[in-house]
Structure 1
Amino acid sequence: MNEHSAHIPGQRPPSAAEAERTPLFTRTDEALGEFALRPVDPAADAALLHGWVTHPKAVFWLMQDCDLAAVEQEFTRIAADPFHDAFLGLHNGTPAFLMERYDPAHRELVGVHTAEPGDVGMHFLTAPAAAPLHGFTRVVLTTVMEMLFDDPATRRVVVEPDTRNTAVQALNKAVGFEVLRTVSLPAKDACLSTCTRDQFLATRGDHR
């Protein structure tokens, strides 16, 4: 379900900073509760994201050696890019994952993938957790996919995980991705993979 904040007569509209912290998409998982996404606020979220992207589990994000200033600079750059967005994911109101959306006709895959109308690129990362919840990452990926396909213009999601990242490749397959081929990108060899709306819905048992 896509939820948008509405201005109630007699109340002031939200400020720009408040609007950035308003979830753009919310869904509820029967087992794990509420999941929501809002735009990243580069200055306010930099310290949190620095802890995530420099953690050993985020090795495939290639930001292990970044300091706090570099992380803020990177997400400031993304916020200003018309072909790239970053979203902070919340689990029951607590920051728990990160998602990036990009236009593969202009970013990441230029020259190695012929983007079709409706193609949307995606990256996601779950936060390090002392006591991981069973099935959490699968639910996060499902939430990300539901948000992307909530936009009627999205026809296919495109991803390019590192060929060594077998864990995320298995998750991708579970939600409907198929590997097209291996491609060489500047920082990695990647499994170019795509998932159409129908492929995703087939894994959900939901053919809306």
Structure 2
Amino acid sequence: MPPADASTGSGAGPAPHPGGGTEDTVDLRLTDELTALFGGGGQAVVPPRPAPAPMAGDLLDTPGGWGATPTSAGAFRLVPVCIERDLSLVSRWMNDPAVAAFWELAGPESVTAAHLRPQLDGDGRSVPCLGVLDGVPMSYWEIYRADLDPLARHYPARPHDTGIHLLLGGVADRGRGVGTVLLRAVSDLILDHRPRCGRVIAEPDLRNTPSVSAFLSAGFRFFSEVDLPGKRAALMVRDRALRDRL
């Protein structure tokens, strides 16, 4: 079970999935594959594409087909991870000390690959995605079925509860509210595209104060403290019924 972070740009990660930090060590350099996917030149651009048709039995209603959403930070969309294309970038982010402090996935690319492959080869209960802002990949997300996750043993889960893990890869996006903006946008996407989901769940490390603050600012409420493998977490909940009030 991953973490859940935001405002400092580093993380909401695995069990523990991580969050914030202080070291400015990650520079965003696109691989040739990412440049080809998102566009040439100095600015990456996401090409328009038709939304994939939902698959029968899709546990998360196809996050890759949710499309772009406008935010105060720019146009944002979730792009499902392709390990051959994205491994180097995600691994670089995981090796930022600010991220590694919470996600605990620093090391060679094989460490990140071992984290991604079970999700990509699994039954679809967790979908790893790049967060692309104005055409530039700048964050890593995991959208997962909290009610089907080991997390459900630690709180009163409801059917179709959907969880979020997040890290911001670019140092420039940390500490200036981008995490809060994107957390609200992604939780809105979940509630808009998953009509059976009544709540969006997150479990940032209690030590990650900037992450907890970002969730609160994004319309989540503190539910309880929970002891998870490797961390004591703040269980955060964004309720469909309260989405327009918080």
What are the Cα deviations for residues 49-72 of structure 1, in whole angstroms up to 9, with x where unaligned? 0111221221211213x3101212
Superposed displacement of residue 143, structure 1:
2.0
Correspondent of 2:131 among 71, 89, 98: 89
**Partner-residue secondary structure (3-state), 1:118:** coil
Deviates more, 1:105-114 or 1:179-188: 105-114
Partner of 2:216: 173
What secondary structure, in the 3-state scheme, does the structure 1 residue paired with 2:159 have?
Answer: coil
| Structure 2 residue runs without a partner (length 5+) | 1-47, 53-61
Deviation at 1:133? 8.1
Report sequence identity in percent. 26
Amino acid at match of 2:135: G
Structure 1 partner of 2:182: 140
Q: TM-score normalized by structure 1? A: 0.80
Greater than 4 Å deviation, 4+ residue runs: 130-133
Residues 29-57 of structure 1, C-alpha deviation per residue, up to 9 Å, x if partnerless?
2x432111111112210100011122122
8 Å CA contact retained: 1:104, 1:121: yes
Return the index of the structure with the highest Cα Rg: 1
> Does the Cα contact within 8 Å between 1:24 and 1:38 map onto a contact in 2?
no
Total equivalences in the alignment: 186
Task: Provide the residue aligned with 1:5 in structure 2.
Answer: 50
Higher strand share: 1
Q: Residue 41 of structure 2 corresponds to which residue in structure 1?
A: none
Deviates more, 1:44-53 or 1:137-146: 137-146
Q: Find the residue that maps to 1:138 and give its secondary structure.
A: helix
Distance 1:69 1:76 in 2: 10
TM-score scaled by length of structure 2? 0.69
1:194/1:84 Cα in 2 relative to 1: closer, same or farther (>3 Å)? Answer: same
Aligned residue for 2:6? none
Structure 2 counterpart SS, 1:170: helix
Q: Which structure has more RCO (C-alpha within 8 Å, separation ≥ 6)? A: 2
